Structure 1
Amino acid sequence: MSKVCLIWVAFAAILGCTSSSRFDELYQPSWAMDHFTYEGELIKMKLDNYSGAGFGSKSKYMFGKVTLQIKLVGGDSAGTVTAFYMSSEGAYHNEFDFEFLGNTTGEPYNVQTNVYVNGVGNREQRLNLWFDPTKDFHSYSILWNQRQVVFLVDETPVRVHSNLEHKGIPYPKDQPMGVYSSIWNADDWATQGGRVKTDWSHAPFIAEYKGFEINGCECPDAVAAVDNMKRCSGGGGEKRFWWDEPVMSELSVHQSHQLLWVRANHMIYDYCKDTTRFPATPVECQHHHH
């Protein structure tokens, strides 16, 4: 169990606080099972010119924090995308994306984040990282509660999507989400706008995973959606979950400074500032401080 889970277990009755470092307790391959390799606690997923691969969580969750430790495809990874994301189902789904866009050898990986609300995305931000993500494992996390969605890299916040419902802006809070990762070929757009294609002579392209953690409110399929919502939103009479505590409702001062540093030094694209795509500034961009 992670430290944060243990800390809050001491203070509150946390129901559905699922945590594990074992892949097979939390996840299962969703396609191309022959493209998986299991080495103890380590999972490797490969992309070749036959197929990519993907896995998904066995359960769905409403709020919490999910973390994967990933070592991205090394060398010439142009054209490849490794994704880590949460998503609900249906035409009006919600989704939180990390997409790691491969590049030619020596060029930095770009990380694209996106947020879909009620089936609508187009909220891309891109940044380069302050380390080489192919040399070692780094942790990538999504924290989701009723107040904010926070994307974190090694616990440094790189993006915040705040709840602005009081401004009439919809916020993803009523659909349970699965947790997913996949690797696939996207050379029509992934690297330098699609100009650089995948060089299959470098295949297979391998992404490595460990440290599988989900600390979230599990939503069993057998339980009615309205009951899951009530339970996971603290409306079922139980004590609060750790992610509902006031301290988790916004970034700390230190985290706010970290986010400002990331935005100043590593952000290379922000949809909020793309006047070509959005001649009128998207409404949430007018209110987000971050």
Structure 2
Amino acid sequence: MEYGIHSRTPLFFCLLFLFLLYTTIAFNHTTLRFHEAYSPLFSDFNIQRSPDDKTVRLLLNRFSGSGIISSDYYNYGFFSASIKLPAENTAGVVVAFYTSNVDTYERNHDELDIEFMGNVKGKPWRFQTNMYGNGSTSHGREERYRLWFDPSKDSHRYSILWTPKNTIFYVDEIPIREIVRNAAMAGDYPSKPMSLYATIWDASTWATNGGKEKVDYKYEPFVSEFTNLVLEGCIVDPTEQISSTNCTDRIASLLVKEYSTITSEGRKSMKWFREKYMYYSSCYDSIRYPVPPPECVVVPSEREMFQNSGRLREKMKFGGNHRRHRRGQRSRRPRKVEVTGQVAAL
């Protein structure tokens, strides 16, 4: 199985380890037990909690997927978990870790996504990040990537920082994407309180090769494991027009955390990741967006990588063909969960 690395020499991995060691910071987190912060979202029978309540396993089988939701809404925050994905043939399987307020703001909801897409046996998992603000679901801001490791062999930490100023997506303390809020974004920047979700579900209609590869339940159950649960932010009542909770101090505290600003070394890590493992970006998709979305910062070295469709110009990265981007059809998850935008047929 390839994960975007053609050279697997000991020297390569030694250099990679040293690179990651010196360009990342180990964040300090307060982890939570499941009962302290989460509730079942759907299919309790497919949710397994460890005896110490620090780990939760979400199962997908022929009967249902499963999901959990934070017990509270947060007005900005840092959301993180160590996640281990299913192995074997995972075509059609989607595991999502994301924030949303669709239950309260059905027509103008906000959302920030990390969404993992399974693959046929022997092919690697892929994942995407996305952002919606104020119901802008027809204007998804997808970016899609591969990983330098096999996410089904060990747990890795995935995090979403969301502040009034910026949003940063992290993989193992490496910043992989930053969205800096600006005036031109207006309501497209998520700004209403959101809950945190984690789900696994059957996305056979679109997730693998445009829906050609379906979930094969011969391999059930598909198990995704979540541990080291982190929820940091100001808890609010999303239905109150004027919040009874003053979040000023909590937001100020969030903004001075080590993960709220990308250091110069962090920028090098992000550049390394994006130039090696990103294979689609809406910022370079001039077919969908003749004018790039207002949050986009065009980086010349990235611009050179992509066609007008936002997909890679060459087959050089991952040793396989990359289909041209096509807009997929939206599907609905079980109640209270919504598919995060229009997804390319991969």
Structure-1 residue corresponding to 2:321: none
What is the distance in 1 between the residues matched to 2:152 and 2:109?
Answer: 31
Q: Please state if 1:242 is matched with 2:257.
A: no
What is the distance in 2 between the residues matched to 1:83 and 1:144?
Answer: 17
Residue identity matched to 2:117: L
Three-state SS of the structure 1 residue aligned to 2:187 is coil
The 5 Å alignment of 1:22-171 reads: 22-40=33-51, 41-89=54-102, 90=105, 91-121=107-137, 122-165=140-183, 167=184, 169-170=186-187
What is the distance in 2 between the residues matched to 1:246 and 1:131?
Answer: 27
Structure-1 residue corresponding to 2:246: 231
Contact 2:83 2:157 in 1 (8 A): yes
Deviates more, 1:172-181 or 1:105-114: 172-181
Residue identity matched to 1:88: N
Residue identity matched to 2:236: C
Give the aligned length.
Answer: 269
Residue identity matched to 1:33: D
Structure-1 residue corresponding to 2:291: 280
Give CA-to-partner distance per residue, 1:138-165, whole Å, 9 cap, x none: 1111011111000101111111111112
Q: Please state if 1:267 is matched with 2:282.
A: no
Q: Aligned pair in 2 of structure 1 residues 190, 3: CA closer, same or farther (>3 Å)?
A: closer
Q: Aligned pair in 2 of structure 1 residues 85, 186: CA closer, same or farther (>3 Å)?
A: same
Deviation at 1:249, TM superposition (A): 5.6
Measured on the aligned residues, the alpha-carbon RMSD in Å equals: 2.4
Contact 1:72 1:206 in 2 (8 A): yes
Contact 2:233 2:251 in 1 (8 A): no
Three-state SS of the structure 2 residue aligned to 1:119 is coil
Give CA-to-partner distance per residue, 1:94-144, whole Å, 9 cap, x none: 100011000112211111111001111411110001110000111111011
Tell me, which stretches of 5 or more residues in structure 2 are unaligned?
A: 1-25, 303-346
Deviates more, 1:150-159 or 1:250-259: 250-259
Contact 2:61 2:220 in 1 (8 A): yes
Deviates more, 1:168-177 or 1:270-279: 168-177
Deviates more, 1:143-152 or 1:246-255: 246-255
How high is the TM-score relative to the length of structure 2?
0.72
Deviation at 1:176, TM superposition (A): 0.7
Runs of 4+ aligned residues of structure 1 deviating over 6 Å after TM superposition are 287-290
Q: Aligned pair in 2 of structure 1 residues 282, 85: CA closer, same or farther (>3 Å)?
A: same
How high is the TM-score relative to the length of structure 1?
0.85
Three-state SS of the structure 1 residue aligned to 2:295 is helix
Residue identity matched to 2:234: C
Q: Please state if 1:181 is matched with 2:198.
A: yes
Residue identity matched to 1:61: Y
Three-state SS of the structure 2 residue aligned to 1:170 is helix
Contact 2:132 2:188 in 1 (8 A): no
Q: Aligned pair in 2 of structure 1 residues 3, 205: CA closer, same or farther (>3 Å)?
A: closer
Q: Percent identity?
A: 33
Structure-1 residue corresponding to 2:211: 194
Give CA-to-partner distance per residue, 1:53-79, whole Å, 9 cap, x none: 111000010112111111001111110
What is the distance in 2 between the residues matched to 1:278 and 1:67?
Answer: 31
Larger RCO (CA under 8 A, 6+ residues apart): 1
Structure-2 residue corresponding to 1:15: none
Deviation at 1:221, TM superposition (A): 5.7
